[in-house]
Structure 1
Amino acid sequence: MIIVAGATGDLGGRIVRELAGLGAPVAALVRTESSARHLEGMASQVRYADFDDVDSIARALNGVHCVVSALSGLEPVILGAQGRLLDAAVKAGVPRFIPSDYAIDFRQVPQGSNRNLNLRSAFLQRAESSGLRLTSVLNGAFMDMLTGTIPIVQHSIRRVIYWGSADQPMDFTTIADTARFTAHAAMDPDTPRWLRISGARVTVRDIAAATSRVRGRSYGILPVGTLGTLGLTIRLARLFAPGTPDDLYPAWQGMQYLRNLLAGEGLLATPLDNERYPSMTWTSLEAVLRQDTR
């Protein structure tokens, strides 16, 4: 039995569907008060737990072989709820745990340069001492963000804007491919500690060329400043437009992620694990750019 925490979210729901499609016995772990009707037709089971209560979670993990966390949020979620999920897995005797680490290699990201990634680093220290067999899936940035959340493709001027170097490689993988790979990893009894995947390792120049092919019109590149300039912009945005305390992705957070990518911080080490599961196919950059309706 594989159980997915965060199954009501986009990534978690996709992981549940992928596991079910692979024939795995999969349970969705949701809060007692959550609505999980849409999961009942996908998961073998829907189990409820109070995420503020380790004992409640531990009871829900009875008989589970692998916990997959797709929890998403700030400190109360990544360190709080996921921390209690980790403690419950230990208490329930679950042998394997896949934490919610889907990102660039946050271990290489300077402390203070990315709030959300620094939370994963903090959780890593706790997880490493748990005694559980851990497997983290690092997928770079979600490629889907190039169609809006990371708005570097500017269609109005047919340019891809950037700070720093246009030749810096960056790793991108779609949410769907990350979910499919994670499902395979959850079923794999021999996973290493770290798995690294990249649906497309591309530069700003590559993104401009791919957009040109998709749109049938020439797109160029446009430098708009240095990485230092982008860092200053982030500080100003954080000061004057901080967002709400529970806002996971205010504008400045998206800029932090972009700066990490453009600085080469968190670039995945090679060799990648794309070939680990032969049935996997990878969504191309062009396929994602075709979905951009802007």
Structure 2
Amino acid sequence: MTITVGLAGITGKFGTLLATSLLKNPTVSLRGYARDPSKLSASLASSPNLSLTRGGAFDAAAIAPFVSGCDVVICSYLGDDKLMTDGQKLLIDACETAGVPRYVASDWTLDYTKLAPGEIASKDPMKVVKAYLETKSTVKGVHVFIGGFMDTLLSPFFQMWDPKAGTFRYRGEGDEVWEATSYANAADYTAAVAVDPGAVGIQKFIGDRATSKEIAAAIGRATGTEPKLERLGSLEELKTLMTETRDKDPANIYAYLPYFYEYYMINGLALFGPETDNAKYPEIKPESWEDFVRRSRQ
């Protein structure tokens, strides 16, 4: 039996990975939605199981036929609060009107349900969208929690890992837990959720659950060189840093967002493990930190 999956934001980084994973399943008929479908790679665009619709996030006339007939719609938008709230609401309304039974919200993050509004500003739209979905009678919300993206946490944006200097930086005592999943692993789990009609509500997947010092050790095993550890301060010092950086220039969200994300992850408030839904899809192997670093170096 064929399942029709709509993927809004197919040309984005995560959308492309998700499309790649979905198209490995011969039962999937994939519909992609994007402002500029020509940005999709030729190898994906040429798939006989993929059709593409051109349209913007606020183009109701294009969205309505895109979602019509879908068994599930996935949103992989990434952008400002207007896009993440109003853009998703427009998609959800279209799904409700068309009788689409499930909508996978653009989450892929830590457990924001445990956060108060404003604690991580970029998660507030997710709370709004989740509440909005709960008002609908037909379309059911699906929310995929994966912790942090390994790709992002080890990128220069977070400044945890400096591969040139061989230095791993951390705050706290080093034994605080991070829950994290790679982009590729998260895409595989989301693709499995998409074709599982029983997957509704919050779905929890983790590639690896490890402390800062364990992550550094995993990097050492993967690279063959033990990282130098550099402690940057306590949790209280991190809290002071993040609030002072925000208060100095509130509009510059990227200056303080990593600090807020780090604080609310390693203080344990937004963790959702160790219980997960990984076992629902045993065909997918969780990618550990060591696995991820080894693959990234290939």
Q: Same fold (TM over 0.5)?
A: yes
Distance 2:153 2:30 in 1: 31
Contact 2:84–2:125 (CA<8 Å) still a contact in 1? yes
Contact 2:37–2:52 (CA<8 Å) still a contact in 1? no
Distance 2:228 2:40 in 1: 47
1:119 offset after TM fit, Å? 1.7
Contact 2:179–2:273 (CA<8 Å) still a contact in 1? no
- TM-score, with normalisation over the residues of structure 2? 0.88
Which stretch of structure 1 is more off in the superposition, 180-189 or 115-124? 115-124
Residues 239/61 of structure 1: CA separation in 2 closer, same or farther (3 Å cut): same
Percent pairwise identity: 25
For residues 238-265 of structure 1, give each alpha carbon's deviation from its aligned partner in whole angstroms, at most 9, with x where no partner exists.
Answer: 3445566xxxx71311221111111112
1:155 offset after TM fit, Å? 4.8
* Residue identity opposite 1:286 in structure 2: E
* Correspondences of 1:107-126 after superposition (within 5 Å): 107-126=113-132
* Residue identity opposite 1:198 in structure 2: I
1:197 offset after TM fit, Å? 0.6
1:11 offset after TM fit, Å? 0.7
**What is the count of residue pairs matched by the alignment?**
288
1:41 corresponds to which residue? 46
1:273 corresponds to which residue? 277
* Correspondences of 1:218-237 after superposition (within 5 Å): 218-237=226-245
Task: Indicate the SS of the match to 1:198.
Answer: coil
2:73 corresponds to which residue? 67
1:287 corresponds to which residue? 291
Structure 2 gap segments, 5+ residues each: none
1:250 corresponds to which residue? 254
Contact 1:71–1:77 (CA<8 Å) still a contact in 2? yes
Larger RCO (CA within 8 A; separation ≥ 6): 1
Distance 1:155 1:271 in 2: 32
2:55 counterpart of 1:58: no
Structure 1 gap segments, 5+ residues each: none
1:207 offset after TM fit, Å? 1.2
Question: What's the C-alpha RMSD, in Å, of the aligned pairs?
Answer: 2.2
For residues 10-37 of structure 1, give each alpha carbon's deviation from its aligned partner in whole angstroms, at most 9, with x where no partner exists.
Answer: 1111111111111111110123x55355
For residues 37-73 of structure 1, give each alpha carbon's deviation from its aligned partner in whole angstroms, at most 9, with x where no partner exists.
Answer: 5352245211233432434312221211110111111
Residues 222/182 of structure 1: CA separation in 2 closer, same or farther (3 Å cut): same
Distance 1:282 1:113 in 2: 29
Residues 211/37 of structure 1: CA separation in 2 closer, same or farther (3 Å cut): closer
2:103 corresponds to which residue? 97
2:148 counterpart of 1:141: yes
For residues 131-178 of structure 1, give each alpha carbon's deviation from its aligned partner in whole angstroms, at most 9, with x where no partner exists.
Answer: 222221111100112332322234566543222232121111000011
Residues 20/161 of structure 1: CA separation in 2 closer, same or farther (3 Å cut): same
Q: Give 2:218's match in structure 1, choosing from 210, 213, 223.
A: 210
- TM-score, with normalisation over the residues of structure 1? 0.89
